[in-house]
A and B are shown apart, each in its own frame.
Chain A
């Protein structure tokens, strides 16, 4: 333990060197804007900024990229809250409550909650990373396809209550998402399937971001147009010192949720298969299930913003672990970090911690600092961000429309996806109009492919015997947890009903 403290101290000192500090600041700022712009995803952002890093030593370079990645995680929440477009796929769950809060004139509260929750997530996860990186890496190795499947089951279980009371409509929404997730090449057999109308473009599948931007960006835009008739959404933009203090006081409302989200996020992030998007969705689902007023989720509950934001930041730290120790990047952005490392002659793998301690601890030290810098930057920029909402919606709607179209085109580089996004947007609007919950569809398209893959890998390995899921201790435990979660809302509502009956008597 002593040595960890010494190493971390050295790492922190390293990140306080003027050059590294400047790199952190620049990285966070650039990341914030890249994350906030839908379409300019962190993948392109990091790739285009890679040359900058050749001007400085490797450790400073990776610090810059990590800060950028960090900043982008915060930034994703900004457009989710102010415009209702998820700026990055990891920020989808932030739209669920962030957008309604903005419409109620509480955008500053939501942004503040996102920043603080991200800070909590980032801090908790980096502490876990510092203390437990090697044992966690060993634990991640124990996660085979069976465990991954169990985890996905758990993720679905957290979402049982998400659709509200109308269970058939929730199931319908999940199924729509699953159908869309199956389109394209099947990873196991390598064959194309569910190619609608034999259109070649469907071979590549329906990208998650196309659905998310369609449903939330376009669908939400049509919905808001219908309700505001193009008027201003938020009449008074008051940003006073008092308001900020009030917002800070709110922290205790969501501190617990954010802490829970941080642990979930970090843990899910360390597993190479998953990543930040499922982590954020799971954290949201669990926060809702265990909240005292779960019904207010999706209508502008501040905990609904804090839960996914804490989780996606924690997961982004977590996903550094498989990248550094196993050489498996958990996300496209970490893949670019990996590329950077290879160029600098740093080989990720089990020996990296022992062979390049300066690099590893410099990076860890910089995560602490980057976390602090981003939260300060974010809170300072809130007044700028919420200016957006002071615009009449008749001005804002075309901007949203352009951002969505450009965002999708820039991500996938295909006109087909842009049309698909518009189609899905109209579908999303109709679903909302007919009171179908859309969140379960989004969840299904994220988790569907991972679930299917791990299920089939497990069954191939066990020669088709489903008992394989129950024979392995970790998988069994997670499955039992999932079953308990599925039963919890049912038992809970049953108990509630009995209580009300008793009171009525």
Chain B
């Protein structure tokens, strides 16, 4: 009996030392999950879902705490990350303003390529939404007609000048030949609420921000900006199908600050890959119209970020920074 006990104990000790060798680095204090957008938006929901999954499945010895820093189209969050250089307990939940804000606000001197690439969790869909009460607007053509009729006073709600939705709005203005008034709100959730309350005329929100209102019959999607029709929006045509040359996605990725220890980077990369492959995450992607086919990390992710930076530079150049930053 005694021998048996000793055996199991040493086996347990072996197993433990084995795990310890695999994961030498572990968070030693709560990890800040910085969200570069307001509460209720897509990035916010994702961060909170991930936080919950990490805690529920006991994937980290310390909790992850989501913190919203929506100021200045993500500039607040990026400056904060810049100040956290070398910190192993801060992560950024990034969206496309990760590229655009440093490009537009050069004075911030933020180089996102220096950030530690942890993982790309998804590519999110953009849709054009209008209030369901607009019975005359049924497709892109009737939408364009309605916008042109307002002669520039058509109100598009978004999350801030220089944010991805303002770029998409500028792309649409250029491609479809009209002008709109862009009104910034502090987050995608607030934008959705203002559309349903008829305070703005249209939005280009991501599904997770607008879906519940769609299900309730308050808002309807007209166009999606993915290359191909994405579930659950199989009935919504893509812009390309309709002859408008616009294809635009929202990246959902996680980054660490510059100078994060390689051991910590490896630990987080591992963690988020596990999260990406979890049933819960894949189910969320499916229900909320995100594309989650491939997990990108390390050098692949860095290459992806660089390509996206270049693409956004071109986009901003083609629509003109003024089109995004002013009215």
Q: Which of A142, A145, A189, A463 has the most CB of B within 10 A?
A: A189
Q: Which of A173-208 contact B (CB under 8 A)?
A: 184-192, 200, 203-205
Given contacts A340-B52, A460-B183, contact A328 B193 (CB under 8 A): yes
Nearest CB in chain B to that of A273: its residue: B190
B44, B72, B197, B213: the one contacting A335 at CB < 8 Å is B44
Q: Which residues of B contact A192 (CB under 8 A)?
A: 72, 75, 107-108
Q: Which of A126-169 contact B (CB under 8 A)?
A: 140-145
A185, A339, A348: the one contacting B71 at CB < 8 Å is A185
Contact A349 B72 (CB under 8 A): no
Contact B68 A190 (CB under 8 A): no
Q: Which of B202-232 contact A (CB under 8 A)?
A: 211-213, 215-216, 218
Q: Quick check: is B51 within 8 A (CB to CB) of the other chain? A: yes
Nearest CB in chain A to that of B100: its residue: A190
Given contact pairs A205-B71, A339-B66, A343-B48, a sample of 7 additional A-B residue pairs in the complex whose CB atoms are under 8 Å apart: A50-B55, A54-B56, A143-B197, A188-B161, A329-B39, A350-B216, A453-B186
Q: How many residues of A contact B (CB 8 A)?
A: 53
A51, A273, A352: the one contacting B63 at CB < 8 Å is A51
Contact B197 A338 (CB under 8 A): no
Q: Shortest distance in angstroms between B169's beta carbon and chain A's nearest beta carbon?
A: 13
Q: Which of B154-175 contact A (CB under 8 A)?
A: 155, 160-162
Contact B186 A328 (CB under 8 A): no
Q: Name 23 interchain pairs, CB-CB below 8 A, sorted by A.
A: A50-B63, A54-B55, A185-B75, A189-B161, A190-B75, A190-B162, A192-B107, A203-B79, A204-B80, A327-B192, A328-B189, A335-B44, A335-B48, A336-B48, A338-B45, A339-B48, A343-B48, A349-B212, A349-B213, A351-B212, A352-B212, A453-B186, A457-B183
Given contacts A141-B196, A190-B162, A272-B190, contact A338 B40 (CB under 8 A): yes
Q: Which residues of A contact B327 (CB under 8 A)?
A: 460
B52, B160, B181, B187: the one contacting A460 at CB < 8 Å is B181
Q: Quick check: is B325 within 8 A (CB to CB) of the other chain? A: yes
Q: Quick check: is A44 within 8 A (CB to CB) of the other chain? A: yes
Nearest CB in chain B to that of A460: its residue: B183
Q: Quick check: is A326 within 8 A (CB to CB) of the other chain? A: yes
Nearest CB in chain A to that of B187: its residue: A328
Q: Which residues of B contact A432 (CB under 8 A)?
A: none
B48, B79, B199: the one contacting A145 at CB < 8 Å is B199
Residue interface mask A309-351, B partner, CB < 8 A = 1: 0000000000000100011110010011011101100011111
Q: Shortest distance in angstroms between A392's beta carbon and chain B's nearest beta carbon?
A: 36
User: Which 5 A-B residue pairings sit nearest by Cβ, starting from the closest?
Assistant: A349-B212, A339-B48, A185-B72, A343-B52, A141-B197
Residue interface mask B65-87, A partner, CB < 8 A = 1: 11011111101100110010000
Q: Which residues of A contact B48 (CB under 8 A)?
A: 335-336, 338-340, 342-343
B69, B193, B280, B325: the one contacting A272 at CB < 8 Å is B193
Q: Shortest distance in angstroms between B275's beta carbon and chain A's nearest beta carbon?
A: 12
| Bound: A327/B211 CA distance, A | 11
Q: Which residues of B contact A54 (CB under 8 A)?
A: 55-56
Contact A190 B160 (CB under 8 A): yes
Q: Quick check: is A22 within 8 A (CB to CB) of the other chain? A: no
Q: Which residues of A contact B101 (CB under 8 A)?
A: 190
Q: Shortest distance in angstroms between B46's beta carbon and chain A's nearest beta carbon?
A: 9
Q: Quick check: is A467 within 8 A (CB to CB) of the other chain? A: no
A326, A328, A329, A349: the one contacting B215 at CB < 8 Å is A349
Contact B213 A350 (CB under 8 A): yes
Q: Which residues of B contact A189 (CB under 8 A)?
A: 161, 325
| Bound: A326/B40 CA distance, A | 9
Contact A187 B40 (CB under 8 A): no
Q: Which residues of B contact A322 (CB under 8 A)?
A: 193
| Bound: A460/B69 CA distance, A | 24
Q: Which residues of B contact A413 (CB under 8 A)?
A: 32
Contact B39 A332 (CB under 8 A): yes
Q: Quick check: is B104 within 8 A (CB to CB) of the other chain? A: yes
Q: Shortest distance in angstroms between B252's beta carbon and chain A's nearest beta carbon?
A: 15
